[in-house]
Amino acid sequence: MKNLPEKTIERLSEYRRTLLNLLTKGKTYIYSHELANLHNITAVQVRRDIMLIGYSSVVKKGYEIKELISVIGNIIDTKEGINVAVVGIGNLGRAITSYFSGKRPKLNIVAAFDIDAQKVNKVISGTYCYNLDELDNVIKEKNISIGVITVPVEQANNVANKLVSAGIKGILNFTSVLLSVPSHVYLEEYDMITSLEKVAYFVKSNK
């Protein structure tokens, strides 16, 4: 299967979260319009996304939820799983590590890094925290492919460079600094300030 559009991958991840929740409530089938309503999009968009991954519904019943979860997992996840590191174990880093623990068996946060002596060599939010100076060795030893950056803005570029040099293949950047990485490294940037300002704009517009 060719690489899917980024927005499709985002929606598939969102669909899976919703479907998992519905499955725990005893629901076994769902129609495209039901899934669309839960995500505030059109049924046409849902059907297009699911057609892209080669799955079709039982017309009279809709999509079989358990099977669709499995199909989405085969697209998004890897068989062997992917290891993740969080760099910067302050309030945000701890929150991310705690929240993500156990949520996805194929994505494992296996290390944290910091420069604070009060945090280094301790287990924080269930994850061992190493000194940032150990990053290169630990990433190679633990076969870590993804780095999550939650450091102060002035350290973001330096941390990104260290991750790239260590062989990281993907970075999720939670700082407000726009990073520049080589083309072989996938970069996802999430700026909470921009997101909040976007919400504030639409709140202002609706007054």
Q: What is the pLDDT of residues 55-67, one digit of tens each?
A: 987 778 899 999 9
**Structural domains of the chain ordered from first start:** 6-75 (1.10.10.10), 82-194 (3.40.50.720)
Q: Give the count of alpha carbons within 13 A of 92, CB side only.
A: 14
Q: The tokens 């939010």 sit on which residue?
A: 125
Whether 1 has a pLDDT exceeding 60, the answer reads no
CA 189/CA 171 separation, integer angstroms: 8
CB burial string 13-43: b at 16+ within 10 A, e below:
eebbebbeebeeeeeebbbbebbbebeeeee
Report the run of H or E that residue 132 belongs to, with start and end: none
Sheet holding 186-189, edge to edge: 122-124, 127-131, 107-114, 82-87, 144-149, 170-173, 186-189
- Residue 79, exposed/middle/buried by CB under 10 A (0-12, 13-18, 19+)? exposed
Report the run of H or E that residue 189 belongs to, with start and end: strand 186-189
- Closest by CA to 187, choosing from 197, 177, 196, is 177
pLDDT 10s digits, 121-138: 999 999 999 999 999 999
Whether 2 has a pLDDT exceeding 70, the answer reads no
Q: Provide the pLDDT confidence category of residue 197 given band limits of 50, 70 and 90.
A: confident
- Closest by CA to 77, choosing from 150, 13, 30, 26, is 13
Percent above pLDDT 70 for the chain: 99
Cβ neighbours of 197 (radius 10 Å): 10
pLDDT for position 44: 96
Q: Give the count of alpha carbons within 13 A of 36, CB side only.
A: 14
pLDDT 10s digits, 4-53: 899 999 999 999 999 999 999 999 999 999 999 999 999 999 999 999 99
Q: The tokens 């129609």 sit on which residue?
A: 31
